[in-house]
Amino acid sequence: EGVVIDSPLFRLHHQASTFMIMIGFIFISVENYLDTKAILCQTGKDFSAYAKSYCWIHGTAYVRSHLQGKATGCFVDQSRLHSEEDAPVTAYYLWLPYLLSLLFVFAKLPHSAWKRFFENNLIGHILGGQNQNQSENKHENQNGGGGQGPHNQTPGQGKNRQGNRFKSRPVEIAQNFVEFQANYNHYHKKFFFWEASNIFTVYLSMQTTHWILNYKFFPYGVQVIEYINSYGQPSHGKMLHDPMCELFPTEVACNINIGSTTGAIDRTNFLCILGNNLFNQKYFFMLWLWWVALLLISVF
């Protein structure tokens, strides 16, 4: 069916991971830049467009604690915040498409480096793909392009992924193996290095995501699992802290300062809805689970 130059674990890293990252990139990019209702603010008609653009571009913060659970259904424990200025700005959702683009590069890097610079088509050479293809092209040119079609292949031939026929007779494969063996003494060591480097790229991806998301990504998965397990249990009148709302709040407050005619500053506070964060909450939880599972599989 073709020349395989990697392992199933390698393919999990560079195929499954990139597929999952691409899904997030497409959805988040469409929601951020094509959805006209990405943010909705409770304002007057004359002030709505300005407030919406301002809050989307310059960021929003948590709703004040005394309004949570009453004016909002998204509860975040703010007991550690001493003042309103301490509340973190949650506008990192603007960076998510760029973050996912970088994560895509990280996921592809080890396999691309291995295939392009270190594997050097060794398996194809051993199977005779390059030499056989060159001899067949020469034979076809001498005969005016009248080479045999795929249906006339001899029983000892197959095809590689590029469509080039390669020799598959045991004697020829053994001869090619002996011929190229001296040039690839460290082939298995290089393969091990680049396959193991996937562990580093997964950690690097998690660290980069942790940095972009206000240093809240590493404990995010554990906190969400604990929240799901405690959800529905008796809370004795206490509101449950929602880690998903902490990382990606769906209801936020936005403060706008405008200069008045007297020279003073008029400050207005709005309550805004970030519907896109519903997808972000679940997507980054699934991404956290995938990376943790991938690390466990790679290490053990």
Q: Mean pLDDT for each 10-residue chunk of the chain (300 residues)? A: 71 90 93 80 71 78 61 65 64 88 93 77 60 45 47 46 51 66 70 87 95 92 90 66 85 75 72 86 95 91
> Taking a C-beta distance cutoff of 8 angstroms, is the pair 114, 6 a contact?
yes
**Per-residue model confidence (pLDDT) at position 44:** 66
Ramachandran bin of 2, using left for φ above 0, alpha for ψ from -120 to 50, beta for the remaining angles: left
**Per-residue model confidence (pLDDT) at position 146:** 47
CA angle 129, 133, 139 (to 5 degrees): 150
**Per-residue model confidence (pLDDT) at position 254:** 79
**Per-residue model confidence (pLDDT) at position 63:** 66
Distance in angstroms (rounded) separating the CA atoms of residues 67 and 64: 6
Distance in angstroms (rounded) separating the CA atoms of residues 117 and 110: 11
**Per-residue model confidence (pLDDT) at position 46:** 62
> Taking a C-beta distance cutoff of 8 angstroms, is the pair 158, 166 a contact?
yes
**Per-residue model confidence (pLDDT) at position 235:** 61
Q: What is the DSSP letter of 3?
A: -
Residue 276: other Cβ atoms inside 10 A: 21
**Per-residue model confidence (pLDDT) at position 265:** 74
Give residue 233's Cα distance to chain centre. Answer: 34
